[in-house]
Copies of this chain bind each other. A is one copy, B any other.
Amino acid sequence: MASRHVINASVSPKGSLETLSQREVQQLSEAGSGSIYALFRQCALAILNTGAHSDNAKTILEAYQDFEVRIHQQDRGVRLELINAPADAFVDGEMIASTREMLFSALRDIVYSESELESLRIDLSTSQGITDYVFHLLRNARTLRPGVEPKMVVCWGGHSISSEEYKYTKKVGHELGLRSLDICTGCGPGVMKGPMKGATIAHAKQRIIGGRYLGLTEPGIIAAEAPNPIVNELVILPDIEKRLEAFVRVGHGVIIFPGGAGTAEEFLYLLGILMHPDNKDLPFPVILTGPRSATPYLEQLHAFISATLGEAAQQHYQIIVDDPAEVARQMAQGLKNVKQFRRERNDAFHFNWLLKIEEGFQRPFDPTHANMASLNLSRDLPPHELAANLRRAFSGIVAGNVKDKGIRLIEQYGPYEIHGDTAVMQPLDRLLQAFVEQHRMKLPGGAPYEPCYRVVT
């Protein structure tokens, strides 16, 4: 990266309420690997790369090894001093407002989740304790707004999709926005950006001020999927499981667009939860959609669900091909049911307390070779438990593909081995191969895909 442009700058939060105590400033200022500082530096660098097109966390981190960020307490609050920062985050020397906002959101979340909450009385060893933790993180980020009707639509799908698929996500976002709905995504490019962009234009047409474009991310993925600049609320959750729980507790419905292993992980997570007997009557609109050209993908995924989790699982979502307005209409209708249900049960609009999430979905899964090999992938399991284990399998594949730690494990020990019933392994193998063929599995840097797993029947 010979032509790397860098800039030194000093930024303050504008109109923000972020204030830090001297103790907190001190904590942040302490440099050193493993510390809060390293975490914040890494997130800051990802945020400053907003809009850049690399999905290779390592590349970015290496390109800006001399990047530094220092935190100062000053008269009007906190000030960040950036050294050797990517120049693209600036316009004529001044930082873009959304980037600045996200920097301070990262600061807020990292200070809060790392420094304070861990010592709260919250008991992370229980399911209720984990949910409380997620609630506190979101509340601290001012994401929970009482008095607002259900209208937060989660959009899941790949960060690297075809131009046609990308345009389709913009159209769906546009139709959602025309119906005054808000967008929540994982906050990177691709499906995480398209719906937000479409909704921005639609909100402008509908003269909606305060449309929400909520991005939920985690430190492990933020570098690979830098927040797109439309995001106007950024929350960094501590890990993938907290992030997934945040999606389903704060979102009122989910749209699944084409994607790869990560999207499959999210879809299985969601189905596993919705199939839990306690959630039987709970309305939660889920729509699988894509443009005409994505029909094979949609069919393959649908078939995989049928083959592994059964037809009952298919009752939890509908498929709509190439019809953005219909997607938005169905979602809007589904949200009305959500509203009605929550009102009847006196559940909060802003946090889905009634949704039962089993501990199995909440506990972080560490994708070691041993853990991957010992996943129980059998059709004898209750479907929601099988879904949980399949979710873990895909989580491991994502890690092996793009996460630092996973990549290193694969380099060292070779591909993961995934064992299970033929009845599960065959469809899994077919799905993964289709992903590869459709170029939905990518490696950082764009090398030809070499699987990080071996499906063993």
Contact = CB atoms under 8 A, between A and B. Distances in A.
A323 to B, nearest CB: 14
A146 B16 contact: yes
B146 A73 contact: no
Interface string A205-236: 11111000000000000000000011010000
Contact of A21 (B132, B142, B204): B132
Interface stretch (A298-306, A310-318, A344-352, A374-382): A344-352
B135 A21 contact: yes
A75 B144 contact: no
A128 B98 contact: no
What is the size category of the interface that chain A forms with chain B?
35 or more
Interface stretch (A89-97, A282-290, A362-370, A418-426): A89-97
B207 A197 contact: no
A97 B91 CA distance: 32
Interface in A82-135: 91-92, 96-98, 101, 115-116, 119-121, 128, 132, 135
A329 interface: yes
A343 interface: yes
Contacts of A21: 132, 135-136, 139
Given A21-B136, A139-B19, A348-B77, A205 B178 contact: no
Contacts of A349: 75-76
Nearest to A213: B204
Contacts of A230: 201, 204-205
A342 interface: yes
Contact of A22 (B91, B201, B329, B353): B353
A339 B76 CA distance: 10
A207 B232 CA distance: 8
A348 B19 contact: yes
Copies in the complex: 4
A232 B209 contact: no
A147 interface: yes
A74 interface: yes
A15 interface: yes
A18 interface: yes
A92 B179 contact: yes
A252 to B, nearest CB: 12
Given A19-B139, A75-B348, A232 B204 contact: yes
A373 interface: no
B204 A146 contact: no
B178 A96 contact: yes
Interface string A1-25: 0000000000011111111011100
Given A74-B346, A75-B343, A179-B92, A19 B206 contact: no
A329 to B, nearest CB: 7
Find the residue from A91, A207, A349 having the highest chain B CB count within 10 A: A91
Contacts of A74: 346-348
A408 interface: no
A72 interface: yes
Contacts of A229: 205
B348 A145 contact: no
Contacts of A204: 98, 200, 230, 232
A96 to B, nearest CB: 6
Interface of A: 12-19, 21-23, 72-78, 91-92, 96-98, 101, 115-116, 119-121, 128, 132, 135-136, 139, 142, 144-147, 178-179, 197, 200-201, 204-209, 229-230, 232, 329, 332, 339, 342-343, 346-351, 353
14 contacts: A12-B147, A17-B142, A19-B139, A19-B350, A22-B128, A72-B346, A74-B347, A75-B343, A75-B346, A77-B146, A77-B348, A96-B205, A97-B205, A101-B207
